[in-house]
Structure 1
Amino acid sequence: MALETIRSEVTGTVFQVLVAPGAQVAADDTLILIESMKMEIPITATCAGTVREVRVTEGDGVADGQDVVIVER
């Protein structure tokens, strides 16, 4: 079991969380949408696996580099 930490690539606000713990994801699936400067920025899975933890909720502020999702490969 290896855990992969998915991080935000921008500073902004969580617009939409598209996954929940237990969800199966493929590499490049969109997990979260971040609103930044009036644009929606997708945060995507870096690997295939199972979502173990979602560390943000809709409306949360996020910083560049902040952990947002943990995926088990």
Structure 2
Amino acid sequence: MVIRAVMGGSVWKILVQPGDRVKAGQEVAILESMKMEIPITAQSGGTVQEVRKNEGEFVQEDEVLILLGE
């Protein structure tokens, strides 16, 4: 499963790291766009396999932020 950016903006905070277990609905990152914080949540549970973006990086809408596995 992939977790994608819902809009373009800067990655303000990454709240998980590889190996962490997440639950559906859990916040995993926060984007900042136009002085607003946009929480990104996991749509399903799993284990974080890879974090593809670092805090401070700019992302486009629909860009992959985090990969989840079983």
TM range (shorter): over 0.9
In 2, Cα distance between equivalents of 1:48 and 1:28:
8
TM-score (norm 2): 0.97
Instruction: Give me the CA root mean square deviation.
Output: 0.6
1:35, CA displacement in angstroms? 0.1
Deviation at 1:17, TM superposition (A): 0.5
Instruction: Give % identity.
Output: 43
- 2:64 corresponds, among 52, 60, 67, to 67
The SS at the match of 2:49 is strand
- Counterparts of 1:24-35 in structure 2 under 5 Å? 24-35=21-32
TM-score between the two structures when normalised by the length of structure 1: 0.93
Which residue does 2:48 correspond to in 1? 51
- Uncovered stretches (5+) of structure 2, i.e. residues with no partner: none
